Structure 1
Amino acid sequence: MIRIILLSVICSFLLTAVSSQEQKPEGKPNILFLAVDDLNDWVGFLNGHSGMQIMTPNLDRLAASALVFTNAHTPAPACAPTRAAILTGVHHARSGAENVWWGDGPKWREFDALKNVVTLEQFFKSQGYTTLGAGKIYHSQAPPWAPTSQVEPENWDFYYPSAYISHPYQIRAPREVIYPDTVDNANRPGGEGWWTWGAIPVADEKMADFHVVDWASYQLSLKHENPFFLAAGVWKPHDPWEVPQKYFDMYPLDEIVLPIYKEDDMEDAYDHGRRWIHKWVLDNKQWKKIVQSYAAAITFSDAMVGRLLDAFEKSDYVNNTILVLWSDHGMHMGEKDNIEKFTLYEKSTRVPLIIKVPGMTVAGTRCDQPVSLMDLYPTLVDLTGFEKPDHLDGHSLLPQILDPSAVTKPVISSYKFSWPETPFIGHTVRSMRYRYIYYPEVNFEELYDHQNDPHEWDNIAYKKENQKIIQEHRNTLKEMLPGISWTDAPPMGYTIDEQGNISKDGFVSLAE
């Protein structure tokens, strides 16, 4: 019965865009595919920072007009593997493409599992769509850094500013702002050129993201002969957290509220290797400035999205275009002794995800079920009425679009921690209630009950009463990774007491 309803709704939607029964390619709905880099759940419609209002009026108005997935998660807490996974449809834990960075060009094609897969934009191009891209969709860097782009040029009819340099020049804040002599610059994380923050004394029009939005807005003003797949990627709030002064003025430093934080949070967890970064932040009294800068960068990116939404709503395409807005991963702002992403916790994996389908999504609705960004490829193929490729690891969200309460399966995020002397891989499973984490090389498990522990402070993986829950989540991992295994030996360097409480031997909090 459900299948009949799904087919009926798809047909009804497609018939609004095409008058003939043949459903020619030019009659298919357009796709507007918007990516916002490093945007976490602090956006207004998710309210991930309960102690402070982050101003995102444009994202909030989009959310109010569409379907919001409140429990959406990235396949990886880093830009490059996430974007390659979303756009190829192959989870990077299965393809082996778990590294953070692979250099210039479509290097992800060098992984055996990705050599011949049809990417998302490639699929729609083969179906007669005009493929248009701008900004950061695949992983890229913009000048003044080494200009790199992992875009595959032949898949796009046009890419702005170029498939070879996929983002415009980024203006930086003055050197005296981002490298003040009041901090230990010699030992600061990020080295020269990255991981900085501060106000830029320019107008929005000088910013790279403004130019990306300008170009995408112009495309929406044109008449297109074929349906289009238009992908636009906004770089901010990715670091450097440097945006025009007016956005900093919205968040006075004396009004900044720090995120909820537990000093000994990592005592019962596996060390992600980034605590030294937060230690530098604390020692140099930069925490409030970083929160201020990230909030300012979020509001700047919201303004850029708002400009594109304005252009879209004034265009001829508003009633026959599927709109998807997503972020590639979340962001820590001190939680779990971490600044930035690169962990397997909620703050790294949870992302904003909004889908708007004319005549199908109901304004202001929410789906609280766990979903993955891996689901975007099959969802868009379903919504446009094509047959899905066989290689896709995600699941179509069409059932949730029709009924936001429809139950989903748990979702998986994975990551290769490359900076330790011996790199290691970790996987996390997010179900409706729990987060399970497993590091195979070190045989360490974590389990957090979001119903009772939304901040993921108490690792309950080694409590006897939770072993059935652990096994259920192990089984989810094994479905995707049949070769994964577990041992009964306790993890080295930790002590487990009779109640199943685990603690790291010799743990030292950052406050000490």
Structure 2
Amino acid sequence: MKTILVNFKLPVLVTLLWSPLKDSNVYSADSKKPNVLFVAVDDLNDWISPLDGFPGVKTPNFDRLAKMGVTFTNAQCASPVCSPSRIAIMTGVHPVRSGIINNPPYINDYLNHDGPEWRQNPVLTDVFTIDQFFKKNGYTTLAGGKIYHTVAPPWSVINQADPDGWDFWFPNISAPVPYQIRASDKLIRHNDWVGRSPNPYFTWAPLPIDDNKMADSQTVDWAAYELQQKHEKPLFLAVGLFRPHMPWEVPQKYFDMYPLASIPDLKIKENDLEDAFDHGRRLWHKYVLDNNQWKKVIQAYLASISFADAQLGRLLDAFEDSQYKDNTILVVWSDHGMHIGEKENWEKFTLWEESARVPLFMMVPGLTKSKSVVETPVSTVDIYPTLAELIGEVPPKHCDGQSLVPLLTDPTADHDPAITAFDFDIVTNKSPYNRDLGLGPSYTVRTVDYRYIYYPLNGLEELYDHRIDPNEWDNIAYKKENKEIVQEHRNYLLEKVSGLKWTDEIPNGYTIENGQIKRIDFMSLIELEYPAVHH
């Protein structure tokens, strides 16, 4: 396990102690603690309507959620992949300090990576997870569904949660997500298609079943039941929805919401990666295009988002009908974003906006105002210290994030830029090129106007001006007029990640002319070839 030294500033506790009154800010240590409803939605990108969404997306319950409190429109994940992102959220330790910046290498070996094996990391061995923190401070801690990294049956059955933090897990801590019915093989296995599917779960099809047969629906049923019960202690209730994680297979009615003829083309730039990093997953996109499936997959992802939205709505109904609605902090988050063909990529595993930007919502009774919006970049590692402060406790010293409490009342409050880290590896990011052009730990900094990315192993830098280039199509890192901006972002990254170095050498495999960087041996998508199948 790589361990990269980091110099994170410890969060400063805003000492506004309060009892739960309308003009209050945070709970005092001796007042009755608020409950916490902690909701995770897997693989949800910024296509939902509160984040300006995909045209025609139907997410009325995310709209409802946005009206309840604060929407963070520029929240960034700590790492663009399930396991490190969720470990960072649940421990409060940023991946650049722990060195956990990719999923475990468990190809065909899931069960050997079950349980909290991340505890073997010396940085994380003794940290209190967020659930342990709440349990220590007098809470009943309940969870259902995917909170830590989980692979759901029939995929496999693992849960990276530390069992010490939970009083109960639905269905149980060893199998944390109910069994999920799959689409029939005749709908998702296509032996006559061009190329080879890159993943057996990279599938999309409607299911001829009702919502109550879906795993997420059953998780919400359980959560609704818990919200009907009287709990003697304050409640920390974690609810994890697996959709819209692939496979994109949800009931037919959600597909019917998005007729193919109504789905607009996704905006892309041809040869977009010519001035950028090759993430090594372009054959996924080639497979989709060669088989004329792009709009069908967009339809399936939108359907999966609307299914997740419907389950969120059922959960909000149960919450608002419960005895806890006036004394509960609500936080809803996703672990990372999702490419649906942008940058010729699918899933996540990159450091661009599609992977790094995530939905994040918070509602705190007596503190947040309805329909509030925070545009400042924040990180998902900020959630832990924020919740700790909101219940009147001092955030643990190991937390690397900053409390969001100042932003909950003042959207213009100062906040550090957000860092996202990822370890590009030969398994997840297998490049079609003959030589290594940048595999290894890499980092991005998101500021209000810019995204800066650095790939240390090949020296490549990327800079995108979000004021004029929200799609991150034009890498302007090597233009003379941006030299100071690049240096500012370098300096910030170096504050957080010790030991990073930059040189004046042209990145390996690239050429620079008049401030424009280009890959020397760039291949268009049509030139890429599928790997030979060995029998």
Tell me if both proteins adopt one fold, taking TM over 0.5 as the criterion: yes
Q: Contact 1:382–1:388 (CA<8 Å) still a contact in 2? A: yes
The equivalent position to 2:196 in structure 1, one of 187, 192, 201, is 187
Measure how far apart 1:101 and its partner are.
Answer: 2.6
Residue number in structure 1 paired with 2:487: 471
Bigger shift: residues 501-510 or 270-279: 501-510
Query: What is the TM-score when the length of structure 1 is the normalising length?
Result: 0.94
Contact 1:108–1:114 (8 Å) recurs in 2: yes
Shift of 1:84: 0.4
RMSD across aligned positions (CA): 1.9
1:417 Cα offset (Å): 1.3
Counterpart in the other structure of 1:170: 180
- 2:310 counterpart residue number: 303
Please name the residue that 1:483 is paired with: 499
Query: Residues 407, 22 of structure 1: CA spacing in aligned structure 2 closer, same or farther, 3 A cutoff?
Result: closer
Q: Aligned partners of 2:14, 2:423: CA distance in 1, in Å?
A: 38
Give CA-to-partner distance per residue, 1:111-133, whole Å, 9 cap, x none. 11111111101001001100000
Which residue of structure 1 aligns with residue 48 of structure 2? 43
Match of 1:381 in 2: 388
Determine the structure 2 residue equivalent to 1:95.
98
Which is helix-richer, 1 or 2? 1
Partner Cα distance (1:68, 1:392) in 2? 23
Q: Report the Cα offset of residue 258 of structure 1.
A: 2.6
Partner Cα distance (2:140, 2:296) in 1? 43
Identity %: 53
Matches within 5 A, 1:81-480: 81-101=84-104, 103-184=113-194, 187-190=196-199, 192=200, 194-418=201-425, 419=427, 420=430, 423-480=439-496
Q: CA separation in 1, counterparts of 2:161 and 2:205?
A: 30
Shift of the alpha carbon at 1:153?
1.1
Range with greater deviation from structure 2 (362-371 or 477-486): 477-486
| SS of residue paired to 2:186 | helix
Q: CA deviation at 1:181?
A: 4.5
> 1:53-72 alignment to 2 at 5 Å?
53-72=56-75
Task: Give the counterpart letter for 2:479 in structure 1.
Answer: K
Q: Is the 2:21–2:366 Cα contact (8 Å) retained in structure 1?
A: no
Q: SS of 2:148's equivalent? A: coil
* 2:523 match: 508
Map Cα deviations across residues 137-180 of structure 1 (whole Å, 9 max, x no partner).
00011111221111111210001111111111011011111113
Q: CA deviation at 1:64?
A: 1.3
65-74 vs 247-256, greater mean Cα deviation: 247-256
Matches within 5 A, 1:12-27: 12-13=19-20, 23=30, 27=32
Separation (CA, whole Å) in 1 of partners of 2:19 and 2:193 = 61
Per-residue deviation, residues 373-421 of structure 1 (Å, max 9, x unmatched): 0100000011111011111110000000010121321110010112248
Residues in 2 aligned to 1:22 and 1:430: alpha-carbon distance in whole angstroms: 35
Flag the 1:5–1:274 CA change in 2: closer, same or farther, 3 A: closer
Shift of the alpha carbon at 1:371? 0.4
Change (3 A) 1:511 1:13: farther
Amino acid at match of 2:491: N
Separation (CA, whole Å) in 2 of partners of 1:387 and 1:14: 21
TM-aligned CA deviation for residue 491 of structure 1: 0.5
| Deviation for aligned residue 1:195 | 1.0
Is the alpha carbon distance of 1:5 and 1:473 closer, same or farther for their aligned partners in structure 2, counting shifts above 3 Å? closer
Contact 2:45–2:357 (Cα < 8 Å) also in 1: yes
Which letter does structure 2 place at the counterpart of 1:34? V
Alignment coverage as a number of residue pairs: 499
| One-letter code aligned to 1:188 | S
Kindly report which structure 2 residues correspond to 1:4-19, keeping only aligned pairs within 5 A, or say none. 7-8=15-16, 10-13=17-20
Instruction: Output the CA distance in 1 between the equivalents of 2:517 and 2:275.
Output: 5
| Counterpart AA for 1:443 | G
Offset at residue 7 of structure 1 (A):
3.6
Q: Which amino acid aligns with 1:109?
A: R
**Shift of the alpha carbon at 1:14?**
6.9
Distance in 2 of aligned mates of 1:372 and 1:85: 10
Give the equivalent residue in structure 1 for 2:108: none
Counterpart code for 2:59: T
Q: Gaps (5+ residues) in structure 2?
A: 1-10, 106-112, 528-535
Q: Is the 8 A contact 2:204 2:300 kept in 1?
A: yes
> Where in structure 1 are there 5+ consecutive unaligned residues?
none
1:437 aligned partner, one-letter code: I
Aligned mates of 1:435, 1:4 — CA distance in 2: 26
Maintained 8 Å contact 1:137/1:232: yes
User: Aligned partners of 1:333, 1:21: CA distance in 2, in Å?
Assistant: 45
> Aligned partners of 1:230 and 1:16: how far apart in 2?
25
Give me the TM-score of the superposition, normalised by structure 2. Answer: 0.90
User: Runs of at least 4 residues of structure 1 off by over 6 A?
Assistant: 14-17
User: Matches of 1:331 and 1:99 in 2, distance apart?
Assistant: 16
Q: 1:452-490 CA distances to partner (integer Å, 9 max, x unpaired)?
A: 111111101111211111111111111111111112211
Q: Bigger CA drift: 298-307 or 412-421?
A: 412-421
In structure 2, C-alpha distance between the alignment counterparts of 1:367 and 1:128, rounded to whole Å? 31
Contact residue 22 and residue 366 of structure 2 kept, 8 A: no
